[in-house]
Each structure stands twice: as structure tokens, then as C-alpha cells.
Structure 1
Amino acid sequence: MSLSPFHLAIPVYDLAAARTFYGEVFGLEEGRSSSQWVDFNFYGHQLVIHEQPKTAFQESAQSNPVDGHDVPVPHFGVVLAWEAWEALAERLRSFGTEFVIEPYVRFKGQVGEQATMFLFDPCGNALEFKAFKDMSQLFAK
């Protein structure tokens, strides 16, 4: 499957903390930057953090129930290869990351079985990282 890189710009109210989080905790390569924004190579995609005042969704997270968990909405993330997902989960644990939903396998034995984990960045942006052992399940019904 060949994908085009996406571009996502998100608000952060503490640019320094968010820069450290994405650069050091995730180990993302930094691209261009200014005093108000920073580009990151987000697994081959362009993630830009923009310093802005705190937004309503950063103040108090909303959620929807999925597989017995409260999934934060909105959220974003990447579908990784299974081994890369496992490595990321361990990396995040090694940094003492507090998960909203701990890494686990969702929909076990069902269509769409996937590994998933949810966390917030230091500015309240929710992230989900997932993996499928069978990538054909990504859009399965």
C-alpha cells in the first residue's frame, strides 16, 4: 500500500514542552521551526505544532465508548507495523508516559482486531497509535 504523507497542524499552548515531548519522548526528527511553530517527521508525515492559547478540547477531554474504553475525541495518530507499535509502547513506558488507555489488543478474535494505545501530549492533544497483524483488516467491516 503506497500512501501520500499527510500534513497535520495542531495547537499547543506550551511550545517548549510539546517540542520536548515529540522530539525526545517519541524521538521524532525535527524539521523547520520558528519561535511559534515546529515541524516534525511524524512517521513519514508532517506534524506541525503551533503555539496557540489553550482550546476547549484541551481544557476537558470528550470521549466515546469503544470496546469498553472511553476513547478521547478528537484524537490523531498513526497505524504502525506490529513490531514498531510494540517498540513505541516500550519507549513510551520507559519515559514514564501516562496512558489514557494502556496498550492492549482491541476486538480480539473479531474483524478489525488491532493493537492500540491512547495518550495525551503535554498540551492535551489526544493521540492513538495502532497496529494490525493483518493490514487487510484496517478497513474491514
Structure 2
Amino acid sequence: MKKLVMSLLAAILILGAFGNGALAASLTLKGSTTVLPIAQAAMEKYKALYPDTEFSISGEGSGNGIKALIDGTCEIANSSRFIKLEEVKLAFEKGAYPVPFGVAIDAIVPVVHPDNSANNLTLQQLRDIYNGKITNWKEVGGPTNRSPC
């Protein structure tokens, strides 16, 4: 699976570099810190094929990466979220035409110690723990006087 993801990312970079029919001398990638390790690995694969290409890569957050793509300060925006409709509209207004391409699925997996009697938490309870509305395990059937965070 890892080889498939790396191959797909290298293909994306190659396609991006060939967008105007010629290899790019440099590529700038900005955006998500979550996607950064994947982008760095893809960049290394690309550099092995095209060693003369200069890269600039930074993790500044998904929104900043998309903003940089819209403003023309990067060729590839790494994002751990889908581009918003307002961002697409702004991109079109500025002559940028973003093409989303999924490379991975991110998830949060809640883990509770086996000694904790809280079990079968609902999605709403997990949301409330994450958002700070639930601050004690006893609120969801667990031991008293212990914070879930």
C-alpha cells in the first residue's frame, strides 16, 4: 500500500511538472502538516527521477496551502481537508483551477484503558469529550474524578 501511495504521489508531481509540456525547474509545495511527511517522501522519489528540480516544501496548515495555491505562490497545496466552495470560487476568480486528488484517509481512533469502566461511547459523547463538554469519566459511565483528556 505504501508503494502505491508513493507511486501515485510521484505521478502527481510529475503530472504537475509537465502541466505546460516541459519539466518544471522548481516546485513549491505548501500546506498541511499532516500531509507533509507523505509530500516529502513523494518529493524524494521525484528528485530521484529528476535531480535538477529544486523543491521548496513547508507545512503551514491546509488553509495556508490552499491560499498559497490561489495566490500563485505554490504549485501544489497539501491539504488534510477538502477545498471549500468559497476557496474554489476565489481560485477561479484569480485564474487558478485547483484539482483535488486524495492520497490518504486521516482518522481519530479513541482508545480507553481496559480498567476504565466507560465503554460503548456514542459518537456524540466522543464529540463532547473532544470539545470539552464532558470533563469527567463519570459523565459517561466511567470512574469518578478522572478527566478523559
Q: Larger helix proportion, structure 1 or 2? A: 2
TM-score (norm 2): 0.27
Larger Rg over CA atoms: 2
TM-score (norm 1): 0.28
